[in-house]
Each structure stands twice: as structure tokens, then as C-alpha cells.
Amino acid sequence: MKNKQLSVLATAALLLCGTVQAQTAPAAPATSSLNLFGIIDVGVVAMDGYGDKTRRFVTSGSQRGSRLGFQGTEEISPGWKAMFTIEHQLYADTGSQNQASPVSGNNIPQRALVGIPNTVRSQLEPQLGASLAASLNNRFWHRQAWVGVVTPGGAVLAGRQYSPVYATFGRFDPHEAGNVGNAFATLTVPTGLEVRIDNSLQYVAEVGKLRVNAMVGAGEGGADSGNGKFWGLSVGYQIGDLDFAVAHQRRKTSEGLDSLENTMLGAAYTWGPVKVTGLWISAKDKHPVLGATLRATLNASAAIPASLKPSFLAYGTQIASNLGFDGHLAYAGVHYMINDRNKLVVSYGSYSDKVDAREAAIGGIALQHILSKRTSIWLSGGKVDNKTGQQILPYAQGYLYGFTDKPGRDSSAYSMNIVHRF
């Protein structure tokens, strides 16, 4: 390529924190590398919003999420490389790969059962609690598992990878996908934004200041998973201190119905020690994947008489619809480098929906004290306004704290974490 250098972005390795340069050059001996990397993130959290007392506990992942991974590259020929990433999620407070039970146990938001007769609730509520509990059990390579080839025209990656919209979200999230004040909490349980996509193929490239990311997912999970085919696309551009991007993705259910759809706009501007960042993201779940999963589970249940299954299947669909999304999140924040050792982050996010009971707003604040190149102490806080009917407890990276004990009750959390990278 004349007068241009093509940089291929090996996205998803650590939320867009690394790039691989691929350019035409004289032949050189083939080289390969294997790197071990990870994060250990442990801290203390104080939380209000469930029960009469403040809950205090040691936890892992409030700021960055503890993980252990391997990355490898091998030069195939000039401008061509093979590469892979496998990344394990762990909870350093216990050493487990599975999350401990949430603060609220396996209870589900009350809005899920609106319009469901009491005689049916006794059958469906345990199914929902079991689904929530199962969602906390992680596969070993939960965070990422992919392999790909870097070429002069871009990178092609295959496996379990970050979705285009979530990768863009991570780039413009004021809290960089962490901290208990993160507004991502408004898009959880069931998910209003898919984070990782199984069985996916992805094309990623960066040409000059232009970034392109395209992905398709085969939807091979089967009826029990509820997941059908997936596709997504993101485009970004940086001009000096201004960075912006647009992204879109769509999922179908295993039954072939249109499901979760997201569109996102993000921008950031850096001015000396100050960085202003913001994003707008829509979430519209026409036929929630949860509905397909519940219908498959209920249809296979021997405990439900055949004559009652049609009504149970209909109520399963209604529950999924009650928990769905049809709104948007507006989320902005400011980073201020006080000095070379301390950074202050403040943010505010508000989620609006056609259903009032889904609406909430979250204010967040965090202070990073940098001890060394690899180690920091983080102090963070978050306050959730659950409006009229939401039940959100503050979010943590890779950790679900659960729900408040009643609709509309506000919640808050404060954390102090030590984070070490290696």
C-alpha cells in the first residue's frame, strides 16, 4: 500500500487496548510469541438497597474484573500473522470461576410477574430463579476464546468475542466498563446489550484514523439457549483529540424471531488533563431470547400437564416481555487527571423506556490512585434512582449484585479496590 500504513486492530483482547501492525516489509525470519496476562481485582463493598441494614462484604471485580489469559502470535509471512486469545474469568475473593449468589439471592424483579395469575407463578417462578442461578455459572474461558489471521487487508477472527456495540461501549464508557457507579446496570438481567458472542466470525481493520468492525454469529446454541443468528457492525474515526463512533447489532431467537437490537453513538474529547466522554444507546427487544428459552424449558417439563402447556407457554412469553427493553440510555462523564498519580471520574446515566417500571438513573464517582505502572487503588461510589418500579442494585464488572427488595427503592454502593495487572 503506497504512502499508507494499514493497522489491523486485534480487537476484543482487552477491550480495544491493543493493536497489531501489519505492513509490507522485506522478508524476515518467522517469529512467534506467547504471553500470559491478567488482572487481580479485590476490594470491599458497602451496599444499601436490600434489607434494613447496609451490607458489607469482600468481593472481586468491582473495578476491572479478575482474569487470567494467554495471547499468542506467529508470523506466517510478511504482513501475515496468526494470533489467538483465551481468557478465563475468576473471582479472586474465593478463587472460583463462578459468581457467588447475588445479594438478593435468586429472587427476580417483581415486574417480571405482572399479569401472571398466582396459580401459575408457583410453577414459573422457580424456573426463572433457576435460570438466573445458571447464568452465574461461567464456562472456563468465559471472557474470550478466539483465533484469527492478520492480513494486509484486515484481521479475520473466529470464536467467542466481544460484540461490536459492546466493544464500542467500552471505548466510550466513562468508567471503562467498571466501578459501582456504572450506568451499564440499567441494561442487565436480562441483558439489554450482548457483551460476548459465541460461534462468531469477525472482520476488524484500522486504516489510518478509520476503524471498522463487522461480525456475524451462527446462532448454534440450540432451542435451550434461545439464541439465533446475530450480526453487528461498528465504524469509528479519530480527528486529533476528538474520537467518535457508531455501532449497530441485531439478534434473532432460536425460533427465527427478531430479538434484541442495539444502536449506539459514542464520542470523546480530550483537552489537556480533561477528557469528556458520552454515549447514547438504544435497546429494543422485540421477542426476548428469554422467552424462547422459557418456552423450550416449559415445553420439556413433565411437571406441567399437556392440557395446561399452551397457557404456560403464553405466560412464559409474557414474563420475557415484562423483562424486555424498549428504550435508550444516555450516559456521559468526565475524567480529570489531577496529577500523574490521581484521576477523578464523575458520570451520570439515565435510561428511559416505554414501560415506566424499567426506567432508572445512576450517578457515579471514582478516584484512581496509581501506585505503580501495574497497580492502582480505586475508590468508587454509585447512587441509583429506581424511579417508579425498577429494582436495580449497583453494577460491578462481571458481578451481578441482584435487585432491591421492592420496586422503586433506591440503592447505593461504595467500594475500595486494589487492582494489579500483569
pLDDT in tens, 277-286: 999 999 999 8
Selection from 329, 411, 330, 421 nearest residue 378 by Cα: 421
Name the grid cell of 80.
501475515
Angle among Cα 36, 42, 44 to the nearest 5 degrees reads 170
Beta-carbon count within 10 A of 406 CB: 12
Residue type, 223: A
What average pLDDT does the segment 334-363 reach? 97
Give Cα separations from 350 to 171, 245, 297, 327, 330 (angstroms): 19, 20, 34, 11, 5
The rounded distance, in Å, linking the Cα atoms of 194 and 205 is 22
Selection from 20, 116, 37, 129 nearest residue 75 by Cα: 20
Q: Which residue has the higher pLDDT, 164 or 300?
A: 164
Q: Which residue has the higher pLDDT, 263 or 10?
A: 263
Q: H/E element holding 74?
A: strand 67-77
pLDDT at 102: 86
pLDDT at 289: 83
**Which tens digit of pLDDT belongs to each residue from 6-22?**
443 444 333 344 333 33
pLDDT at 221: 65
Question: Domain 40-64+97-139+163-195+226-421 is in which class?
Answer: mainly beta
Domain residues of the chain, as ranges?
40-64+97-139+163-195+226-421
Residues 6+ apart with CB under 8 A from 121: 113
Band (222; pLDDT cuts 50, 70, 90) = low
Q: Which residue has the higher pLDDT, 142 or 398?
A: 142
Contact predicate 146/11, CB 8 Å: no
pLDDT at 134: 73
pTM listed for this prediction: 0.88
Q: Using the predicted structure, report yes or no on whether residue 181 has a pLDDT greater than 50.
A: yes
**Which tens digit of pLDDT belongs to each residue from 72-129?**
999 999 989 999 999 999 999 999 988 888 888 888 888 888 888 887 777 777 777 7
What average pLDDT does the segment 221-234 reach? 80
Contacts from 237-246 at CB under 8 Å and sequence distance 24+?
Answer: 237/209, 237/210, 237/211, 238/209, 238/211, 239/209, 241/269, 241/270, 241/271, 242/267, 242/268, 242/269, 243/171, 243/172, 243/267, 243/268, 243/269, 244/268, 245/168, 245/171, 245/172, 245/211
What average pLDDT does the segment 362-386 reach? 97
Q: Which residue has the higher pLDDT, 292 or 180?
A: 180
Angle among Cα 373, 377, 378 to the nearest 5 degrees reads 120
Q: Which residue has the higher pLDDT, 291 or 336?
A: 336
Q: Which segment of 52-61, 219-228, 339-348 scores lowest on mean pLDDT?
A: 219-228
Angle among Cα 4, 5, 11 to the nearest 5 degrees reads 140
Tell me the percentage of the chain whose pLDDT exceeds 70: 91
Selection from 354, 329, 380, 332 nearest residue 165 by Cα: 329
**DSSP symbol at 99:** P
